[in-house]
């Protein structure tokens, strides 16, 4: 006797507790709801998760933003992936808008871990078939995972916003260090603006601290657009902005994807050295991290479009014309 099945593909969105508002927004755009999930911590810190409806045979997208308390949120996402695997989900995609430990993508000295590689290994062992993230700190992280990786770009959205708001001014795009020159060059080409570069010298034994800045390019009388992938304590960005102002810049705008905003970032960014900051909500922007000069753009439409493309076996690269 022949056995046939008429099952159709089913997309589900599940979310960790770090940034549920983002997952809800993504689900709303896709015309669905986040799967009800029970999640809590035991007294000793262990995390428990359980889905409150069947996920058998689904195409699951596990959204978790790795905000402050990053180790707890990584563990919670791993447990969510494991629960999906053991509940017979057909395909599991880890959606990490801000990829955990992305800055530790290589060894600077002997006897150090390559933590970003460890994260991809953990997701794979837990049961992930695919990874999706926004603006990885370095593109090479895509090669750490043994499976498809969707690397989404926030650049078009950020650049279009900056062009609309400050495009009539004399713009100069500024790379805050040599490692971001390629991305800054794409910004400059998209905006039709000249490029300047700040060369920073770091003490490798002192984290979150830059010893000096040197400027390559003319910024006198211009509106400078400092572009980077993340702001943590804002020490680098504010020092770069101060250098630009000392060199005669009329205004300094900062555009970045990931607003980590570890203390004292808010105090530094709102001190008056930086005129405006544009970020996305890949990480939750809690009230204590908001200030008058801040604009937050939603990354949810981009993530929703990428999820829709993956679910429909369509090309994600089509979301980024000219950069595929």
Is the CB of residue 218 less than 8 Å from the CB of residue 171? no
The answer to whether 33 and 65 have CB atoms below 8 angstroms apart is no
- Residues 259, 283: contact at Cβ < 8 Å? yes
Is the CB of residue 208 less than 8 Å from the CB of residue 233?
yes
CA atoms within 13 A on the CB side of 91: 15
CA dist 270 and 24 (Å) reads 30
Give me the active site residues, please.
200
Rounded CA-CA distance 89/80 in Å is: 11
Candidates 89, 113, 93; CA nearest to 103 is 113
Rounded distance between C-alpha atoms, residue 109 and residue 105, angstroms: 12
């Amino acid at each position: 006797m022949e056995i046939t099945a008429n099952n159709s593909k089913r997309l589900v969105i599940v979310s960790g507790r770090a940034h549920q508002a983002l997952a809800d927004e993504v689900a709303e755009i896709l015309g669905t709801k986040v799967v009800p999930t029970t999640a809590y911590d035991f007294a000793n810190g262990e995390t428990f998760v359980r889905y409150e409806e069947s996920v058998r045979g689904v195409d699951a997208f596990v959204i978790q933003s790795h905000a402050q308390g990053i180790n707890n949120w990584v563990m919670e996402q791993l447990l969510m992936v494991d629960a999906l695997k053991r509940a017979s989900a057909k395909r599991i995609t880890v959606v990490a808008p801000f990829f955990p430990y992305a800055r530790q993508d290589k060894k600077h000295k002997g006897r150090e871990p390559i933590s970003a590689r460890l994260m991809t290994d953990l997701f794979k062992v837990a049961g992930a078939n695919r990874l999706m993230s926004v603006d990885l700190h370095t593109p090479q992280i895509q090669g750490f995972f043994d499976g498809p990786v969707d690397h989404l770009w926030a650049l078009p959205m950020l650049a279009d916003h900056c062009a609309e708001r400050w495009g009539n001014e004399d713009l100069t795009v500024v790379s805050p260090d040599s490692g971001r020159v390629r991305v800054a060059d794409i910004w400059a080409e998209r905006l039709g603006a000249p490029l300047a570069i700040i060369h920073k010298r770091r003490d490798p034994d002192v984290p979150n601290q830059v010893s000096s800045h040197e400027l390559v390019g003319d910024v006198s009388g211009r509106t400078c657009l400092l572009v980077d992938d993340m702001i943590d304590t804002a020490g680098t960005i504010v020092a770069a902005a101060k250098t630009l102002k000392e060199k005669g810049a009329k205004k300094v705008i900062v555009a970045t994807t990931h607003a980590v905003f570890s203390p004292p970032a808010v105090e530094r960014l709102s001190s008056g050295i930086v005129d405006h900051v544009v970020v996305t909500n890949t990480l939750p922007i809690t009230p204590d991290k908001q200030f008058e000069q801040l604009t937050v753009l939603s990354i949810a439409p981009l993530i929703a479009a990428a999820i829709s493309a993956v679910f429909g076996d369509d090309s994600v690269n089509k979301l980024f014309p000219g950069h595929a």
